[in-house]
Amino acid sequence: MTDASQTPPYQQSGTHRDDGLSRSGESGPSGAGTPPTAGAPAPGGVSDIEGFYFDGVHSRRHVVRITVDAASLSIHGETVSRTEPWSACQISERTRHGPRQIEFSDGARVAIPEPGAFNAAMAALGRSDSIAVRMQQSWRIALLSLAGCVLAVAAAYQWLLPWAAGVAADQMPRSVLVAVSDQVMETLDDYVLKPSALTADRQAKLRQRLADISQKLGPAELLFRDGGKFGANAFALPSGKIIVTDQLASMLNDEQIVGVLAHELGHVVYRHGMRAVLQKSVVALVAGWYFGDISSLLAGSAAAYANLHYSRDFEFEADAYGASLLRANGMSPTLLAGALEKLEASHVHRRAKPSEGTGEPKAEGKPDVSKPDASKPDASKPDTGKDNPDGEDNDYWSTHPGTAERIKRLLTREN
Amino acid sequence: MLEDQALAPRQAADALPPGLPPAHAIEPATELPIRFTGSGSEYFRIWIVNLLLSILTLGIYSAWAKVRRLKYFYGNTLVDGSPLDYHGTPIAILKGRIVAAVLLVIWIGVQQFGDLKLVGIVFVLGLIVLPWLLVRSLRFQFFNTSYRGVRFGFQGSTLRAYAVFGMWALLLFPGVVMSFVSPLYMVPVLLLMAPLAHQQLRKFLVDGVRYGNLPGSMRASVGAFYLVYVLTVLIVAGALLGIGLVVSAIPGLLRSAQTMVSMAGGNIGVGAGMLALVIVVALGAMVVFILFAGPFFVVRIRNLVWSRSQIGEHQFRSRAKVWPFIWITVSNFLLIFFTLGLFTPAAQIRKARYLIQSVALVPQGSLDDIVATQQDRVSAFGQETADLFDIDIAL
């Protein structure tokens, strides 16, 4: 490890230049005052190494014996004899199995099929391996590397990826947001949503309310649709379009809908939809690469799981935003909490199944983060299929955080 | 355990005393063994250190990692006791990777955010540059491979690559059009056309290879390719039929499959039994294909291509066997699955060892007279792009 600063691993690829090595040799193991060859069994050179020499022009194999000393490497055979200083040699890395090869600067090379004696001679000369080779040869370092990989991936997933996706999403031009959103809306209209039956009067009233709270935030547009299998739901597209389903509108009063709209505006302002797409792409890419050879199924489920987690964070963020937006407009965050409560209750009722208290995810009835990959409408449908009795698991696996926890956070925020 | 396994071929390699027989004494038609001395446990350590350093450097180190990996695989491949070597430099690979990464990001961006027309245009553009890209890739790969101090090369012309890939496009186009009517039409089209196109592609690859002043050539006939394809299809069809019969013969199986599907979140109503049956059969087909028909195909094509290929007058024999390779594939699959991917490096070594050691070189005369030729350097751009887009033509 002492020469880590002198010979960073990335400077030593499959082969390493010798000048870096001799420096590390001097300051390394032999730096304690002993001359490099002091411990070598054959001072002045080791010559019991067998190998092949190739001149780099012809394929002819010359059988040679190799001698190494502090300054150079020599080969001697019936047909060839040659001495090269270490600085003219590129030596392949030491491995526990397999040969080593030394390439001279003119393209000629020496192959040592059984490098045991050569390795010992090099060690005796104090010519140590590069840091990467020593890492690769140690089981302890390999296991530490494994732990390091797991930690690094976890950290990248937890902090780096959300941050990077946030930065990238913020940089994205508005035209892209609009294009994506229009495409999603088109898909949803084709497959899931139906035209709204809400009265024009109520639509206009709600549009006005949205305009009131969102005036400083840029474009926001309210659309009404029959939710189809989405049921009572609301979601935001990255371009600022917010869709409220008839089912939701008939369940909540206008004040509560404003609470929901404030939450959805949070998704718009933070560009959650775009961030979700970016994060998902990266996770899918990495998982696909790692598991690629073995099973795209495994990779797919890993990516899907990762996305569930992300949207939980987004929900909390949008809740917090919605709460402060409501307060800024002189309203109470309890509006949103009340809306959530009501949706939760209707959802539990609809499924005619007792909810496991706090852990039960709101499946059908909570405001949904926009899912721009709505080419598969089912993917943007909240978790209806699963009814996991295990409350904690449910909380973690659900697309949205447990409603009770969200309500609690909203109410605490107010105080 | 792995160390022990790895020692076996190694000892066999030792049996060839490296110093003794000068190669010019070789009689014609003697087979020279090709050994692979890589070890799963050692490669695991290289792999995991590579992975860690690549992550910590945000991918930059991956170019160095690639060189380490290839040096390990090439250096442990000994033809008649002499190793191959890989000469790609990390910096060249890194440059290629950066360009390729930019292209990949653009492609992902277009896929995610572009409309269908743009995706189509970019996709077609990609198809148009594909042959050019692959020729670059092959040039880089072979130029950076050496044996006995003499480099390989690839001289297949870009024009011929376009002819070969153009044929693929022409052959597959009617199939794609027909598959809009019904996907079933794709099967006969593929079956009729793919062997021919595949043979042309392999011929282009092998004929383009140079080792020093010796040209490569392949003599495998189209008919032999057809035979492999037909047998593969028969295996899949037979297995499907078998699975279908077993499933429909056991009534309880149908129901349990149905429960499994609904437990997995599938929302199936009427006709669920039929759907479950279809799903089970489809899954069975996938398993049969990946674990049995796939390895069968790989082994037979490999044996065919290698045994009918030569460099100059020097020939090869490939004697890979189907069942051992199926065993390696299946056990690798399970081990990778249950170790969450950690067995991957050892699996690669196992597979490489089996496939490499099933090939032997049959020299006609001496291997000593090959002369290196002057070659232009090639950039890594083509290969890195092909790699990153997962374009692999080494079927």
Residue span of the structural domain in which B12 resides: 1-18+27-86+320-357
Q: Are A65 and A21 contained in the same domain?
A: yes
Q: Is the pLDDT of residue B174 over 80?
A: no
Domain boundary among A115, A137, A159: A137
Q: Are A103 and A225 contained in the same domain?
A: no
Q: What is the pLDDT of residue A339?
A: 82
Q: What is the pLDDT of residue B302?
A: 94
Q: Are A128 and A179 contained in the same domain?
A: no
**Does residue B372 belong to any structural domain of this protein?**
no
**Does residue B49 belong to any structural domain of this protein?**
yes
Q: What is the pLDDT of residue A294?
A: 46
CATH number of A101's domain: 2.30.29.30
Q: What is the mean pLDDT of residues B94-120?
A: 81
Q: What is the mean pLDDT of residues A34-47?
A: 44
* CB contact residues (below 8 A), chain A span 261-290, against chain B: 277, 281, 285, 290
Q: What is the pLDDT of residue B272?
A: 57
Q: Is the pLDDT of residue B269 over 60?
A: no
Over the stretch B334-364, which tens digit does the pLDDT of each residue have? 898 889 889 999 999 999 999 999 999 999 8
- Per CB-CB distance under 8 Å, the chain B contacts of A156 are 55
Q: What is the pLDDT of residue A403?
A: 75
Q: What is the pLDDT of residue A363?
A: 36
Q: Are B195 and B95 contained in the same domain?
A: yes
Over the stretch A179-234, which tens digit does the pLDDT of each residue have? 878 877 888 888 778 888 888 888 888 888 888 887 766 677 888 998 877 778 88
**Does residue A228 belong to any structural domain of this protein?**
yes
The C-alpha of B244 sits at a distance from chain A's nearest C-alpha, in angstroms, of 23
Q: Are A122 and A203 contained in the same domain?
A: no
CA angle B149, B377, A130 (to 5 degrees): 60
Q: Pick B89's closest partner by Cβ from A10, A13, A57.
A: A13
Q: Which of A122-126, A158-162, B181-185, B239-243 has the lowest mean pLDDT?
A: B181-185
Residue span of the structural domain in which A71 resides: 9-137
**Does residue A245 belong to any structural domain of this protein?**
yes
Tell me if B42 and A58 make a contact (CB, 8 A cut-off).
no
CA nearest neighbour of B388 among B126, B209, B168, B169 = B126
**Does residue A157 belong to any structural domain of this protein?**
no
Over the stretch A282-322, which tens digit does the pLDDT of each residue have? 877 777 777 665 455 454 545 555 554 556 778 888 888 88
**Does residue B365 belong to any structural domain of this protein?**
no
Tell me the C-alpha distance between A356 and A373, whole Å: 31
Tell me if A281 and B113 make a contact (CB, 8 A cut-off).
no
Phi, psi of B170, rounded to the nearest 5 degrees = -65, -40
Q: Is the pLDDT of residue A151 over 90?
A: yes
Tell me if A277 and B150 make a contact (CB, 8 A cut-off).
no
The mean predicted confidence, pLDDT, of chain B is 80
Q: What is the pLDDT of residue A304?
A: 52
A50 interfaces chain B, CB cutoff of 8 Å: yes
Q: Are A192 and A340 contained in the same domain?
A: yes
**Percentage of residues in chain A having pLDDT higher than 70:** 68
- Name the closest residue on chain B to residue A150, using Cα atoms: B52
Q: Are B231 and B281 contained in the same domain?
A: yes
Tell me the C-alpha distance between A191 and A373, whole Å: 13
Over the stretch A1-10, which tens digit does the pLDDT of each residue have? 334 344 343 3
**Does residue A193 belong to any structural domain of this protein?**
yes
Q: What is the pLDDT of residue B327?
A: 93
Q: What is the pLDDT of residue A25?
A: 35
Phi, psi of A47, rounded to the nearest 5 degrees = -130, 20
- Name the closest residue on chain B to residue A375, using Cα atoms: B112
Q: Is the pLDDT of residue A74 over 80?
A: yes
Q: Give the end-to-end CA distance of chain A in Å, rounded to a whole number.
A: 55
Judge contact between A388 and A402, C-beta under 8 A. Answer: no
Q: What is the pLDDT of residue A184?
A: 79
Over the stretch A329-346, which tens digit does the pLDDT of each residue have? 888 888 888 888 887 777
Q: What is the mean pLDDT of residues A57-64?
A: 90
Q: Are A119 and A195 contained in the same domain?
A: no
Q: So what's the ipTM on this one?
A: 0.76
Binning pLDDT at 50, 70 and 90, where does residue A382 land?
A: very low
Q: What is the pLDDT of residue B253?
A: 60
- Per CB-CB distance under 8 Å, the chain A contacts of B38 are 97-98
Q: What is the pLDDT of residue B2?
A: 38
Q: What is the pLDDT of residue A4?
A: 39
Tell me the C-alpha distance between A232 and A364, whole Å: 6
Tell the residue number behind the tokens 């499933």, with chain if given.
Answer: B247
Q: Are A210 and A86 contained in the same domain?
A: no
Q: Which of A161-170, A376-385, B138-147, B183-192 has the lowest mean pLDDT?
A: A376-385
Domain count, chain A: 2
Over the stretch A166-187, which tens digit does the pLDDT of each residue have? 898 888 888 888 887 887 788 8
**Does residue B367 belong to any structural domain of this protein?**
no
Q: Are A133 and A234 contained in the same domain?
A: no
**Does residue A48 belong to any structural domain of this protein?**
yes
Q: Are B128 and B195 contained in the same domain?
A: yes
Domain boundary among A137, A161, A180: A137
Tell the residue number behind the tokens 């390699």, with chain if given.
Answer: B13
Binning pLDDT at 50, 70 and 90, where does residue A377 land?
A: very low
Q: Is the pLDDT of residue A380 over 90?
A: no
Q: Are A132 and A259 contained in the same domain?
A: no
Q: What is the pLDDT of residue B10?
A: 37
Q: Is the pLDDT of residue A249 over 90?
A: no
**Does residue B300 belong to any structural domain of this protein?**
no
* Residue A256 one-letter amino acid: Q
The mean predicted confidence, pLDDT, of chain A is 72
Q: What is the pLDDT of residue B252?
A: 64
Question: Is the model more confident about B232 or about B249?
Answer: B232
* CB contact residues (below 8 A), chain A span 296-315, against chain B: 298
- The shares of helix, strand and coil residues in chain A, as percent rounded to the nearest 5, are 55, 15, 30
Q: Are A47 and A123 contained in the same domain?
A: yes
Q: Is the pLDDT of residue A22 over 60?
A: no
Q: Which of A149-158, A228-237, B139-148 has the lowest mean pLDDT?
A: A228-237
Domain boundary among A112, A137, A162: A137
Q: Are A131 and A33 contained in the same domain?
A: yes
Q: What is the pLDDT of residue A46?
A: 56
Q: What is the mean pLDDT of residues B286-309?
A: 88
* Residue B240 one-letter amino acid: L
Judge contact between A407 and A337, C-beta under 8 A. Answer: yes
Q: What is the mean pLDDT of residues B229-248?
A: 82
Binning pLDDT at 50, 70 and 90, where does residue B260 land?
A: low
Q: Are A16 and A113 contained in the same domain?
A: yes
Domain count, chain B: 3
Q: Is the pLDDT of residue B182 over 70?
A: no
Judge contact between B382 and B135, C-beta under 8 A. Answer: yes
**Does residue B310 belong to any structural domain of this protein?**
no
Q: What is the pLDDT of residue B4?
A: 39
